[in-house]
């Protein structure tokens, strides 16, 4: 039965990413902002839900597969980061590709870490 919750969360997460891509320009000056924003938002949310579900137990553990695996797993996408980076590199945009890779990883790690730290103190 858990797989149904993962699937439903994944469908909602994928639809959310698709919606975001419709409203945020895919690229501005060659930089893939839509996927970058999806991954940053997902990193903030996974930090928050980690605290709410696992650390503090405010939300039942039963929601973890739906929210963290399904929804956030589908909202965020490292495979798109990899593809966008390779395509930028192949198109002679090595500096944009490196900026995208570094900013994606560093920003997402900082967002998840800072969200956890703040949520643990506030909640």
**What confidence category does residue 93 fall into, taking pLDDT thresholds of 50, 70 and 90?**
very high
Residue with tokens 């909602």: 12
What lies within 8 Å, CB to CB, of 31 at 6+ separation is 96, 99, 100
Domain boundaries, given as residue ranges, for the chain: 2-122
Which pTM value belongs to this model?
A: 0.93
The string of pLDDT tens digits covering residues 2-13 is: 999 999 999 999
Average pLDDT across the chain, whole number: 95
The string of pLDDT tens digits covering residues 47-79 is: 999 999 999 999 999 999 999 999 999 999 999
Helices (H), ranges, 76-123 = 78-90, 94-122
What lies within 8 Å, CB to CB, of 39 at 6+ separation is 76, 77, 78, 81, 104, 108
């Amino acid at each position: 039965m858990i797989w149904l919750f993962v699937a439903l969360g994944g469908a909602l997460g994928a639809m959310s990413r698709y919606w975001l891509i419709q409203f945020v320009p895919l690229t501005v000056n060659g930089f893939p902002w839509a996927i970058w924003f999806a991954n940053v938002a997902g990193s903030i949310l996974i930090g928050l839900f980690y605290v709410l579900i696992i650390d503090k137990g405010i939300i039942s553990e039963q929601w973890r597969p739906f929210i963290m695996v399904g929804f956030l797993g589908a909202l965020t996408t490292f495979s798109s980061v990899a593809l966008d980076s390779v395509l930028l590199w192949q198109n002679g945009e090595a500096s944009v590709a490196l900026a995208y890779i570094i900013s994606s990883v560093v920003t997402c790690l900082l967002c998840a870490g800072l969200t956890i730290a703040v949520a643990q103190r506030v909640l």
